[in-house]
Amino acid sequence: MLSPGLQILILVMQLNMNNSNKVKKIILTGGGSAGHVTPNLALIKNFQQKGWELNYIGSQAGIEKELIAKTSVPYHAIATGKLRRYFSWQNLLDPFKIILGIIQAFILLHKLKPAVVFSKGGFVAFPVVVAAWLNRVPIIIHEADLTIGLTNKLCLPFATKICVAFPETIRQIKNKKNAIVTGIPIREEFFQGNAKHGREICGFTPNKKIILVFGGSLGADQINKVVRQLLPNILEQFQIAHVCGEGKIDTNCNYEGYKQFAYLHEEFPHVLAAADLVISRSGANSLYELLALHKPNILIPLAKATSRGDQILNAKYSAERGCSEVILQEQLTPELLLEKIATVEKNHNAMIEAIKKFAVLDGTKLIYEIIGTVSV
């Protein structure tokens, strides 16, 4: 018969073996815009490859529901209240929606029992983060912009670790020891784009440079208008791939060398690989992807009147390092856009060298490692 001490030792070893064989569980959240979801898509693939069990908590009708539906990850919808910076009668109802969302998220977390929650921000994230804190589940939050968004500001006190894209962001965090610079997770398919295939998708020839224009997941009316005002003259020098948004294709602009898309999904990495110059908004995810792929670019940030000004700061940050040219939306004209295109052409090599000096981090790998340390 085994001694009591040896029996205890064997029991401990069995428990450790059982724990090591347990499938780790993670809940991801984030939504309200594509920028709060696409980094999660990069993480999802990585976690699935490592054998984790994943669940996603999002809003009932946000873009995150559509994007996560394309994966095999179970999606759970909760009530959400938008955290507005302006007066609206809906602000009176939103506190009740947020409380309901916290209750719903609390029940979900109690049922699913994740080892960790990862939040990418957006108004849907706050109830999930609070519910995770109440359930004593470790919380990792990620801020992609230079300045911290409102939801993440509210989530900071509950966070176990805070991941940021840029070193300058850490200055805004009181508890700096919990903040880590990780960059932004980028889907690996972005690095697998085939330029030749991208030209074929657009029906473009190899003898002219390509400008890729996109104004975010919904397109941008002002950018669309100004780009089309340059047609057909600009097509003498360039071919243009124009992602203009759902329902915004102009059938009157039927020119050779000009290809319109309502949106691009699987084809986007290939068209991006083919592009010699990119004209885009300056959301942190888009900017980081352009820098990672060494793409010369012209940034047209969202105006402060329709945003919190984060895109303006992102664009300024990149321009100061020689990585971008910038046009403020209120200053956007066909003449100025042509001038900026000429500037990028003139300084093309210098811009690429500046971009190569920018320290692009492997956000997917770094965040995975951080999550692994807090979920033990």
In the chain, residues under CATH classification 3.40.50.2000 are 4-183+361-374, 189-357
Q: Could you report the per-residue pLDDT of 285-303, keeping only the tens digit for each?
A: 999 999 999 999 999 999 8
Q: 224-230 long-range CB contacts below 8 Å, 24 or more apart? A: 224/248, 224/250, 226/332, 226/333, 226/334, 226/337, 227/279, 227/337, 228/253, 229/334, 230/334, 230/337, 230/338
Please, which pLDDT band fits residue 87 given cuts at 50, 70 and 90?
A: low
Please, which pLDDT band fits residue 94 given cuts at 50, 70 and 90?
A: confident
3-state secondary structure of 90: helix
Alpha-carbon gap, residue 342 to 310, rounded angstroms: 27
Question: What CATH topology corresponds to 4-183+361-374?
Answer: Rossmann fold (3.40.50)
Cα torsion 320, 323, 328, 332 to 10°: value is: 140
Please, which pLDDT band fits residue 137 given cuts at 50, 70 and 90?
A: very high
Alpha-carbon gap, residue 136 to 114, rounded angstroms: 10
Count other Cβ atoms within 10 Å, centred on residue 91.
Answer: 13
Beta bridge partners of 163: 142, 180
Count other Cβ atoms within 10 Å, centred on residue 345.
Answer: 15
Alpha-carbon gap, residue 216 to 243, rounded angstroms: 9
pLDDT (0 to 100) of residue 374: 87
Question: What CATH topology corresponds to 189-357?
Answer: Rossmann fold (3.40.50)
pLDDT (0 to 100) of residue 81: 75
Alpha-carbon gap, residue 368 to 20, rounded angstroms: 18
Alpha-carbon gap, residue 70 to 221, rounded angstroms: 27
pLDDT (0 to 100) of residue 143: 96
3-state secondary structure of 326: strand
Q: What is the mean pLDDT of the chain?
A: 90
Mean pLDDT of 306-324: 92
pLDDT (0 to 100) of residue 90: 64
